[in-house]
Structure 1
Amino acid sequence: MAHVALRIGVDVGGTNTDGVLLDPAATGSLNRGILAHHKAPTTPDPCDGIETCIRKLLEDAHIEATQVTSLAIGTTHFINAVIEKNPARLVPVAVIRLCGPFAREQYPGIDWPQDLASIICAHCGFVDGGLEIDGDIIRELVEEQIAEECTLIRQKGIKSIVVNGIFSPADIVECQEERVGDWIKKYYPEAEVVLSKHVANLGFLERENAAILNASIMPFARATIASFERAARSLKLTCPVFLTQNDGTLLPAHRAASVPIRTFNSGPTNSMSGAAFLVRHELGLARRAMLVIDIGGTSTDIGMLLPSGLPRQAAAITDIVGIRMNFSCPDVRSIGLGGGSIVRRSEKMTIGPDSVGLRIQTAALIFGGDTPTATDYAVAASTAELHIGNPARVPADLRVHADEYRAVLHEMLEGIIDRMKTNAEDIDLLLVGGGALLVEDGTKLKGTSNVIKPKYSSVANAIGAAIARVSGTVDTVRTTAEKTTKEVLDEVSLLAVTRAVENGAEHTTIELAEIDVIPVQYVANKARFIVKAIGDFDFSRPPPAALDDPGFDRVGDLVAQLVSQRSVLPAPPPPPPTLSELESYRPNVSPAREWRLSERDLEWFSIGCYILGAGGGGSPYAEFVRVRELMRKGSIVRVVSVDDLADGARVGGGCGMGSPAVVIEKLAGDQMMDSQRAVWDVVGGKPDAMIGLEVGGMNGLQAFLLGASANMDVPVVDGDFMGRAYPLMWQVTPVIMGGEHAHALPNALADGNGNVLVMTGATPERMVERTFRAALAEMGSAVGYAKAAYLGRDVKSWAVKHTVSLAWRVGRAVALCRARSDLDAVADVIIDAVGGPETARVLFRGKIVAVERKLVKGHLYGEVSIANADGSCLTIPFKNENLVARRVGPEGVEVLATVPDLISVNDAASGEALGTSDYRYGLHVFVLGIATSDKWTRPRGIQIGGPRAFGLDIEYKPLGVFLPPRSVIDEYAPII
Structure 2
Amino acid sequence: MVSEARYYRIGVDVGGTNTDAALAAAIFHNGDQQPKVKIVGSSKSPTTSDVTTGICSAIRDLLSTNRIAAPDILSINIGTTHFVNAIVQADQQKLAPVAVLRLCGPFCREVPPFVDFPRELREVVEGPVGYLNGGLEIDGRVIASIDEDEVIRHAHAIVDAGISTVVVNGVFSPLDSSPVTQEEQVRKILERHIPRVDVVCSRDIGRVGYLERENAAILNAAILAFGRMTISRFQKAVEDLGIDCPLYLTQNDGTVLDAHSASLAPIRTFSSGATNSLIGALFLSGIHEAGSEINLKECQVIMCDIGGTTSDFAALSLSGLPRESPATVKIGGVRTAFSMPEVLSIGLGGGSEVREDEDGIVKVGPISVGHLLLEKSRCFGGSTLTATDVVVASGGKDKVTMAVAKVQDVSDEVVQKGRQNIRKQLERGVDIMKTSDAPVVLLLVGGGSIILMDDLENVEKCIRPQFSDVANAVGAAIAKISGDVDSIIIPGQKTHEEIKNNISARATDIAITNGAQPGTVEILDLDLIPIQYTNNGAVRAIAKAVGDLGWDRRPRRSLVLTSIEAEGNVNRATRPSMNKSISILPAVDIDIVSYRPKVSKATGEWFISPTDLLFILEGTGILGTGLFDLRLSRRSTDSSTGGGGSGYTAYLNSLYALSLAEQGKMRVIDPGVLKRNDKIATVAYVGAPSVSNERLIGDSELQYATEALAKYEQIDGWAGVLAAEIGGSNGMRTFTMAAAMDIPVIDADTMGRAFPRVDMSLPYVFKAATPVPSVVSEARGNVQIVAQAENATRFENMVRTISVELGLYTAMALILSGSVIEKYCCHRSLSASWFIGRAVCMARALKMDVVESLVADIPGGRKLYSGKIINVSRTVKGGWTIGTATLSLDDEVKAAMSEDRTSSMDERPLVLQYQNEFLYAALQNQDSSLEALCTTPDLITVLDQNGTAIGTHELRYGLRVSVISMPADPLWKTPEGMKAGGPDAFGIDMEYKEYGAEWKKPRSVIAEFGL
TM-score by length of 1: 0.88
2:251 is the alignment partner of 1:245: yes
Question: In the aligned structure 2, how far is the partner of 1:573 from the partner of 1:119?
Answer: 17
Q: How does 1:426-575 map to 2 (within 5 A)?
A: 427-439=440-452, 441=453, 443-445=454-456, 447-479=458-490, 488-506=499-517, 508-515=519-526, 517-524=528-535, 525-540=537-552, 542-550=555-563, 562=571, 564-565=573-574
Give the superposition deviation at 1:887: 7.1
Matched with 2:225 is: 219
Which residues of 2 match residues 717-728 of structure 1 at below 5 A?
A: 717-728=746-757
What letter matches 2:67 in structure 1?
H
- In structure 2, what is the equivalent of residue 588 of structure 1? 598
Residue 904 of structure 2 corresponds to none
User: Conserved in 2, the CA contact under 8 Å of 1:615 and 1:904?
Assistant: no
Identify the residue that residue 636 of structure 2 maps to in structure 1: none
Asked if 2 retains the 8 angstrom alpha-carbon contact of 1:130 and 1:165, the reply is: yes
For 1:60 and 1:890, the matched residues in 2 are separated by 63
**Residue of 141, 150, 155 corresponding to 1:145:** 150
Distance 1:519 1:261 in 2: 30
**Distance 1:424-1:539 versus aligned 2 partners, 3 A rule:** closer
Quick check: 393-402 or 966-975, which moved more? 393-402
Question: Structure 2: 5+ residue runs without aligned partners?
Answer: 30-35, 629-643, 891-906
Quickly say closer, same or farther: Cα 1:284–1:48, change in 2 above 3 A.
Answer: same
Matched, 1:261 2:261: no
1:13 to 2:19 alignment:
no
- Whether the 8 Å CA contact 2:431–2:958 is kept in 1: the answer is no
> 1:714 Cα shift?
2.2
Note the C-alpha offset of 1:230. Answer: 2.7
Report 1:27-106 matches (<5 A).
33-106=38-111
SS in 1 for 2:6: coil
Return the alpha-carbon distance in structure 2 between the equivalents of residues 161 and 340 of structure 1: 44
Deviation, structure 1 residue 200 = 0.6
Task: Report the secondary structure of 1:513's partner residue.
Answer: strand
Residue in structure 1 matching 2:709, options 667, 679, 683:
679
Cα distance in 2, alignment partners of residues 800 and 438 from structure 1:
57
**1: CA distance, partners of 2:538 / 2:146:** 25
Check whether the contact 1:884–1:895 (CA below 8 A) recurs between aligned residues. no
Correspondence for 1:779 among 806, 817, 822 = 806
**Cα separation, 2, equivalents of 1:208 and 1:456:** 40
- Alignment-mate amino acid for residue 462 of structure 1: A
Q: Report which stretch shifted further, 392-401 or 70-79.
A: 392-401
State the Cα distance separating 1:106 from its structure 2 match: 1.2
Residue 697 in structure 1 maps to residue 728 in structure 2: yes
Distance 2:753 2:727 in 1: 5
Distance 1:501 1:959 in 2: 61
Contact map agreement 2:246 2:557 (CA 8 A) in 1 = yes
Equivalent of residue 707 in structure 1, options 731, 738, 761: 738
- On the 8 A contact 2:584/2:656 being kept in 1, the answer is no
- Asked if 2 retains the 8 angstrom alpha-carbon contact of 1:337 and 1:351, the reply is yes
SS in 2 for 1:500: helix
8 Å CA contact 1:202, 1:475 repeated in 2:
no
Higher mean C-alpha displacement, 131-140 vs 263-272: 131-140
The one-letter code of the counterpart of 2:571 is L
Amino acid at match of 1:640: I
Which segment is superposed worse, 199-208 or 862-871? 862-871
Deviates more, 1:463-472 or 1:952-961: 952-961
Contact 1:361 1:367 in 2 (8 A): yes
- For 1:337, give the aligned amino acid: L
Match of 2:120 in 1: 115
| Matches of 2:135 and 2:10, distance apart in 1 | 44
Give CA-to-partner distance per residue, 1:252-275, whole Å, 9 cap, x none: 221111111111111011122222
CA contact (8 A) 1:841 1:930 kept: no
SS at match of 1:303: strand
Distance 1:397 1:378 in 2: 12
Q: Amino acid of the residue matched to residue 193 of structure 2?
A: Y
- In structure 1, the residue matched to 2:770 is 742
> Secondary structure, in 3 states, of the residue corresponding to 2:973?
coil
CA–CA separation in structure 1 for the residues paired with 2:476 and 2:954: 31
Q: Structure 2: how far apart are the matches of 1:233 and 1:507? A: 28
Q: Does structure 2 retain, via aligned residues, the 8 Å contact 1:610–1:618?
A: no
C-alpha RMSD over aligned residues: 3.7
- How far does the alpha carbon of each residue in 1:882-936 deviate from its partner, in whole angstroms, 9 at most, with x for none? 4456777752242645543444455x46554444555678766655555433322
1:296 & 1:355 partners in 2: Cα distance?
11
Matched residue SS, 1:40:
strand
Q: Once the two structures are superposed, what CA deviation does each residue of 1:930-953 show, in whole Å capped at 9, x if it has no partner?
A: 543332232222222234334445
Q: TM-score if structure 2 supplies the norm length? A: 0.86
Judge conservation of contact 1:423–1:846 (CA < 8 Å) in 2. Answer: no
Mapped partners of 2:188, 2:860: distance in 1? 60
Offset at residue 620 of structure 1 (A)? 1.1
More deviation, 307-316/256-265? 307-316
Which of these residues, 883, 898, 913, is aligned with residue 863 of structure 1?
Answer: 883
In structure 2, give the amino acid aligned to 1:391.
Answer: V
SS of equivalent to 2:971: coil
Does residue 209 of the first structure (1) align with residue 215 of the second (2)? yes
State the 1:196 CA deviation. Answer: 0.5
Which amino acid in 2 is paired with 1:581?
A: D
Q: Distance in 2 between matches of 1:482 and 1:867?
A: 44
Match of 2:824 in 1: 798
CA displacement at 1:93 relative to structure 2: 0.7
* CA apart distance, 1:176: 0.7
**CA distance in structure 1 between the partners assigned to 2:176 and 2:812 by the alignment:** 28
SS at 2:810's partner residue? strand
Instruction: Say yes or no: does 1:967 pair with 2:993.
Output: no
Task: Give the equivalent residue in structure 2 for 1:284.
Answer: 294
Deviations 1:169-210 (A, max 9, x none): 111226110010000111013101111110011111111000
Report how many aligned residue pairs link the two structures.
953
Residue 972 of structure 2 corresponds to residue 945 of structure 1: no
Q: 1:860-939 to 2 correspondence within 5 Å?
A: 860-863=880-883, 878-883=914-919, 891-894=927-930, 896=932, 898-906=935-943, 908=944, 911-916=947-952, 928=964, 930-939=966-975
Query: For 1:158, what is the secondary structure of its paired residue?
Result: coil
* 3-state SS of 1:217 partner: helix
Are 1:634 and 2:661 an aligned pair?
yes
Structure-2 separation of matches of 1:479 and 1:848 = 34
- Supply the distance in 2 between the matched residues of 1:35 and 1:853 (Cα, whole angstroms): 52
Distance verdict in 2 for CA 1:18–1:733, change over 3 Å: same
Question: How much has 1:40 moved relative to structure 2?
Answer: 1.8
In 2, the alpha carbon distance for the partners of 1:794 and 1:98 equals: 43
Distance 1:568 1:155 in 2: 10
Distance 2:885 2:745 in 1: 38
Q: Secondary structure at the match of 1:169?
A: helix
User: Taking structure 1 as reference, are residues 468 and 100 closer, same or farther at Cα in structure 2, changes over 3 Å only?
Assistant: same
Q: Name 2:25's counterpart in structure 1.
A: 23
Residue 808 of structure 1 pairs with residue 834 of structure 2:
yes
8 Å contact from structure 2 (residues 623, 754) kept in 1: yes
Task: Choose 399-408 or 729-738, whichever is displaced more.
Answer: 399-408
SS across alignment from 2:398: coil
Q: Describe the superposition over 1:21-73 as per-residue Cα deviations: whole angstroms up to 9, x where unpaired.
A: 1236699xxx9922001122112222222222222223333333333334222
In structure 1, C-alpha distance between the alignment counterparts of 2:522 and 2:850, rounded to whole Å: 38
Q: Which residue of 1 aligns with 2:903?
A: none
Q: Tell me if the contact between 2:48 and 2:54 (Cα under 8 Å) persists in the aligned partners.
A: yes
